[in-house]
Amino acid sequence: MSRLSGKVALVTGASRGIGAAIALRLAREGADVAITYASSPDKAETVAGALRETGRRAVALRSDSAEPHAPAQAVARVVEEFGRLDILVSNAGIGYWKALEDFTIEEFDRVMAVNVRAAFTGAQAAAARMGQGGRIITIGSCNADRVPAPGSTLYAMSKSALIGLTKGMARDLGPRGITVNLVQPGPIDTDMNPADGERADSLRALMALGHYGEGEDVAGLVAYLASAESRFVTGTALTIDGGYNI
Ligand code: NDP
């Protein structure tokens, strides 16, 4: 597979989970890949090592998406290191699930900073450096469209903001030949949402397929969006949820 040879990708929040799977897939398809992490340097280095084993160049950058300028700084460091940037995958995300009255203002600010502001500022910085064929891909959630249980207000709000972000940027960047798309996963087995976790059975009960997905499932869709094959796809949200939202 070499759909992405000659390309440079940045995947945020890729020390584990979906981001790590995306980074590995992009490298296997030929891209040089930079990843970011916030608090897991060892895990991030392990992922970077696996990326290098594919024969591609790779670097792990500490970059806390909650910090206002961190996403733009990460983009600048990638361009410094690799000389260009073709693909941005804004994957870093967090969530708090609790009763409405229990959310704090700090939690509100942190969720919006990591899930929304960082996606915006990262894309803004990336777009400034991308040429024709650039790809901006953000990882949202199927909860942007459907919230079947209580406790998800803050998370769902942050992920639905990405729909507008995607549409707006697709209009801004379409004339430059840069596509902007949103990937909305359903339950994927990661630290954030383990398939053996407390909520897992209730989520499985909502899914047509009845089982969790793997990071690789999301990575396959992201690789398609990152490739030239997807050149006519922009401004849209692609849901990959095992039939959770139907
Ligand atoms: P995990 O919690 O398993 O992994 C999160 C990753 O993001 C880690 O690499 C973590 O780095 C990084 N990260 C967290 N906060 C920050 C930050 N402030 N700055 C930089 N990196 C950060 O999550 P998933 O892999 O499950 O989720 C990835 C994305 O997919 C998220 O946007 C999530 O909302 C979305 N998603 C996940 C679903 C699921 O069922 N798993 C379903 C729908 C959407 P570190 O190790 O350093 O903390």
Question: Are 187 and 213 in contact, with CB atoms under 8 Å apart?
Answer: yes
pLDDT of residue 241: 98
Structure ipTM over 0.95, yes or no = yes
Distance from the alpha carbon of residue 175 to the mean position of ligand 1, in angstroms: 31
User: Ligand 1 test: best mutation among 10, 12, 18, 75, most atoms within 8 Å of CB?
Assistant: 18
Q: How far apart are CA 74 and CA 2, in angstroms?
A: 25
pLDDT of residue 1: 56
pLDDT by residue, tens only, the chain of 246 residues: 599 999 999 999 999 999 999 999 999 999 999 999 999 999 999 999 999 999 999 999 999 999 999 999 999 999 999 999 999 999 999 999 999 999 999 999 999 999 999 999 999 999 999 999 999 999 999 999 999 999 999 999 999 999 999 999 999 999 999 999 999 999 999 999 999 999 999 999 999 999 999 999 999 999 999 999 999 999 999 999 999 999
Closest CA to 211 of 246, 243, 245: 243
Distance from the alpha carbon of residue 203 to the mean position of ligand 1, in angstroms: 18
Each domain of the chain, given as residue ranges in start order, spans 8-240
Which residue, chain included where needed, has tokens 């959630």? Answer: 141
Active site residue 155: yes
CA distances to 36, 74, 93, 99, 128 from 10, rounded to whole Å, are 8, 9, 15, 35, 14
Residue 220 — φ and ψ, nearest 5°? Answer: -65, -40
pLDDT of residue 231: 98
Ligand 1 pocket at CB < 6 A: 12-19, 36-40, 43, 63-66, 91-94, 114, 139, 141, 185, 187-188, 190-193
Segment holding 90, helix H or strand E:
strand 87-90
pLDDT of residue 127: 98
Q: What CATH superfamily is the domain 8-240? A: NAD(P)-binding Rossmann-like Domain (3.40.50.720)
Q: What angle do CA 193, 198, 199 make, to 5 degrees?
A: 60
